[in-house]
Amino acid sequence: MSRKSILVVDDEKSQREILEMILSGEGYDVTTASSGEAAMKFVEKRHFDLVLTDLKMTGMSGLDLLKELTDYDKSIIVVLLTAHGSVDSAVDALRLGAFDYLQKPYDSEKLLDTISRALQKLDTLDVEIISESAEMDKVKKMILKVAKSNSTVLIRGESGTGKELIARAIHKNSPRSNNIFQAVNCAAINENLLESELFGHEKGSFTGAVADKKGLFEIADGGTLFLDEIGELDISLQAKILRALQEKQIRRVGGTKEIEVDVRVVTATNRDLLKMTEDGRFREDLYYRLNVLAIDVPPLRDRATDVPLLMNYFIRKHTRNTKREIKIEKDAEKVLLEYGYPGNVRQLESAVERAILLCENDTITREDLPPEMLQQNGTGGSEVFKLPPGGVNFEDVEKSLITQAMERTDNNITRSAKLLGLTFRTLQYRLEKYGIKRESDGSDNESDEDE
């Protein structure tokens, strides 16, 4: 984490100097102000992680400052210094949202301990994102970083990886957390309705518009608007969203006046937006605007260390209001831990939930797990496909799998053959049969063949 910034407020010069010395000695980035009024001026100019203020000052008191600060930015942590005997006001301060108070004379160790406890609060997320993998640590760090800004965020990841949870975490950890978090799924509503949902409409602007209606941008004013599945947004609406992001103004359907909105927009998609821009299905300008702050959520199969943790978490979550103590038999646990989870965390959660419902004697066995999980495990890890009701064109499936394997391995025949469970020669034969050309022909050395 970056160096934390502290604003020290005291009307006594010697006090400011001592505090500055102690705190900068610990590596904090310290600024001092000689009054509450001066402190507010600093706060309006830049962000501070923590404000350490004296309680009794001429002019604005520490309590007044606390009130102004929490009105201005809910994420600032406030610690008060009180003279001996003013514990009552200190308790008031806690009620008003101060993190803690210290009585003077304080010793510097106690002071530093309080400050460090207060700042730790900043680094802990206020939404339960269960993980211990390095991959998710990176994601959590990004969440805390972007939460402080007002920029638009794009969350990318496969279905069920936790994109919405992350959007909520961004909001919860942002200065807007006391205002509304409004989610809208762009795929669930048709284009015309969605425009009026987002931007509102004026009475009579279309059949059915019987009264003026506020849109979600107006409703989320001061808060966060989560545009889920942004890749499904119709191209004409993309232009309107871009305009709202750029101008911070919207116009209701059928309206003429511009309405100012203060909304932080967070978006999510499981699509490859860059590819969509190449195909002309997603506006390039909107893509680049969204892509400035992007968070990539790794699929569950790429963070295996999170699986046992999530498994136990979901067991607790789904038995929370019961007295049940669920156990898992070893071979059922093995299946859960080794499965590939194409549906990611959501699939793990529903498997656990289902098993808790089905299991007898509070013990989860293999039989309580969904069949698709057992199939994969039972056939030595090779993919098992469900034959669709209408059947398939077998050669197309084969060709597509081979192409995917070659893409994934950068046209390495040996590794592709391994992925497909074929021998080098068999794969080579099929590549020729289907006319799938390797770009780097000849570079795949036959000597690393392990037949």
Ligand X SMILES: Nc1ncnc2c1ncn2[C@@H]1O[C@H](COP(=O)(O)OP(=O)(O)OP(=O)(O)O)[C@@H](O)[C@H]1O
Which residues are at the interface with ligand X (CB under 6 A)? 128-131, 157, 159-165, 270, 345-346, 349
Q: How many CB atoms lie within 10 A of CB 190?
A: 8
Shortest distance (Å) from residue 268 CB to ligand X? 6
Shortest distance in whole angstroms from residue 225 CB to Mg ion: 15
CA distance 180 to 364: 40
Comparing CB distances to ligand X, the nearer of 91 and 187 is 187
Q: Tell me how far, at minimum, the Cβ of 159 lies from Mg ion, in Å.
A: 7
Which of ligand X, Mg ion, none binds 130 (CB below 5-8 Å, type-dependent)?
Answer: ligand X
Given Mg ion, ligand X, none, residue 161, with its beta carbon under 5 to 8 Å by kind, binds ligand X
In DSSP notation, 102-121 reads EESSPPHHHHHHHHHHHHHH
Q: At what angle do helices 306-317 and 344-358 cross, to 10 degrees?
A: 50
From the list ligand X, Mg ion, none, partner contacted by residue 195 (C-beta under 5 to 8 A by kind): none
Shortest distance, position 320 Cβ to ligand X, whole Å: 14
Nearest-angstrom CA–CA distance, 122 and 101: 18
CB of 341 to ligand X, least distance (A): 11
A 10 A CB-CB count for 179 gives 18
Work out how close the CB of 128 gets to ligand X at its nearest, in angstroms, rounded to a whole number: 6
Q: Applying CB under 5 A, which residues contact Mg ion?
A: 164
Instruction: Give the Cα separation of 262 and 434 in Å (integer).
Output: 56
Nearest residue to ligand X by CB is 162
Buried b (16+ CB within 10 A) or exposed e, 148-178: beeebbbbbbbebbbbbbbbbbbbbbbbbbe
Q: Which is nearer to ligand X, 108 or 182 (CB)?
A: 182
Please identify, using beta-carbon distances, which residue of 36 and 231 lies nearer to ligand X.
231
Residue nearest to Mg ion (CB): 164
> Residue 414's binding partner, choosing from Mg ion, ligand X, none, with beta-carbon cut-off 5 to 8 A by kind?
none
Q: Following DSSP, what letter does each residue of 38-77 receive, concatenated?
A: HHHHHHHHS--SEEEEESS-SSS-HHHHHHHHHHH-TT-E
Closest Cα partner for 226 from 164, 189, 287, 183?
183
Closer of 183 and 239 to Mg ion (Cβ): 183
325 CB-near residues (< 8 Å, 6+ apart): 319, 362
Using the minimum distance from each CB to ligand X, give the nearer residue, 36 or 162: 162
> Closer CB to ligand X, residue 350 or residue 365?
350
